[in-house]
Amino acid sequence: MSLVQFTKQANLAMLTLDRGKVNALNPDVVEDLRSGLRRAISDDDVDVLLLTGTGAFFSFGFDVPEIISYERTAFDRFVHDFTSLYLEFFECPKPVVAALNGHAVAGGCMLALGSDYRVMARGRAKIGLNEVTFGASVFAGSVEILRHWVGHRNAERVLLTGALYSGEQAVALGLVDEVCEPEEVMATAIRAARAFAACDAEAQRSIKRILRRPVADRVRMVEASSIREFVEIWYSPNTRERLSSIRIH
């Protein structure tokens, strides 16, 4: 049974995170997301992708209670797979819209930032990169992608405060493109996806490549050394103590 539902509505493929209450990310979800993404890319009937989550969360990020027990090699592999996944979304030749049905936090936010357009529910849902608050670093590649959407200065604020933002605040920062009533998230995201699909696909693919390639090249250039530093800090006594106190299930 897959942890990511794959469904189609005409030329739209929908990937739905479906793992427990908070759609916590672990190696299996990452693998299933990648499979879903590749299936949608290679399916000639699919013109546009929609990424969302079941229940009240988009994704609360890494499954810390599970991942904290990993040996360093397994954790390292997971982190490589995860970072290459958000880049694969960011460079997806077909448009990807994220329907943020609920919280998109830490790794969940990084994943959302890989898409072309983010629709978020007004109200209680929060988005942010709060790693600094629990003693973790971030991936330099995700910082490049964050900067692409929010600029250098807002990236500083987002990362150094670790604040979580409402949809309205997130639109002002550039983290999210559109905010709407919670019950309208899916319809709004589908409308945005259809608008993307209405353009000439070849021209759009070329323009998207021109927009993304310089950013993706920088991601590739900085990611490996940043992962080493991230892993180092993850296994530091301070951070392990903070992580051990996280209970998300």
Q: Which residue ranges make up the site for its own copies (CB under 8 A)?
A: 95, 116, 131-138, 140, 143, 147-153, 155-156, 159-162, 174, 195-196, 199-200, 202-204, 206-208, 210-211, 214-215, 218, 222, 226, 229-230, 233, 236, 238-239, 242
In the complex, minimum distance from the CB of residue 222 to its own copies, in angstroms, rounded to a whole number: 7
Nearer to its own copies, 74 or 211 (CB): 211
Q: Rounded to 5 degrees, what are φ and ψ at 194? A: -65, -35
Of 93, 167, 95, which Cα lies nearest the Cα of 127? Answer: 167
Q: Provide the minimum distance between the beta carbon of 176 and its own copies in the complex, in angstroms, as a whole number.
A: 11
As a whole number of angstroms, the distance between CA 53 and CA 62 comes to: 15
Among residues 103 and 148, whose Cβ is nearest to its own copies?
148
CB 92 within 8 A of CB 48: no
* Residue 102 Cβ vs its own copies, minimum distance, rounded to whole Å: 24
Q: Which of 20, 155, 32 has its CA nearest to residue 82?
A: 32
* Nearest residue (CB) to its own copies, 57 versus 230: 230
Q: Which amino acid is at 239?
A: T
Nearer to its own copies among residue 79 and residue 150 (C-beta): 150
Quote the least distance from Cβ 87 to its own copies, whole Å. Answer: 16
Which residue's structure tokens are 């920062």? 173
Q: Which is nearer to its own copies, 1 or 203 (CB)?
A: 203
The least distance separating its own copies from the CB of residue 216, rounded to whole angstroms, comes to: 13
Q: Is there a contact between 107 and 85 (Cβ–Cβ < 8 Å)?
A: no
| Residues facing 57 on adjacent strands | 103
Q: Please spell the DSSP secondary structure of 136-162, one letter per residue.
A: ----HHHHHHHHHHHHHHHHHHHHHH-
Choose among 106, 111, 79, 68: nearest CA to 92: 111
Residue with Cβ nearer its own copies (17 or 98): 98
Min dist. Cβ of residue 245 to its own copies (A): 13
